[in-house]
Structure 1
């Protein structure tokens, strides 16, 4: 038998989101009614989030809360069940 290969995972470093000073976002609506959130810092942030991992998803939600993205969505009129799109990631808004 061939030798067993041992794989070691490569660490994925989360972006240093705390150092980002400009956390401004632009919120618009698509023709299908989805809310589109854009911001330069969000793209960098999303690269370090694994949406299939519970802890990583919790981190994502916490950053959206603390950075004011959720409040901005509410001010734009988002309600429960509305689709929110942040670059290539879409989710249903839930209070």
Structure 2
């Protein structure tokens, strides 16, 4: 796989987390939403971002780019583990 594709996949992941942060800090806070609505929106954006990352990892695996798919899926697992540990998934705890 070319370096451009690898960098594009990683930039997509970074974009998803930046978009989540922007949504939480800029857009929703200005609307004076309640805390529960903010937590629900944060959880929904997190789950969507992780689902998209896992789909991308699956597509890369099917295309034969196993090392990149493994990197991406390990990144998803690590961030999800930290998120559950510190309660960052909209109140989801173990």
TM-score (norm 1): 0.37
Which of structures 1 and 2 has the larger relative contact order (alpha carbons within 8 angstroms, sep 6+)? 2
Is the strand fraction higher in 1 or 2?
A: 1
Which of these two proteins has the greater Rg computed from alpha carbons? Answer: 1
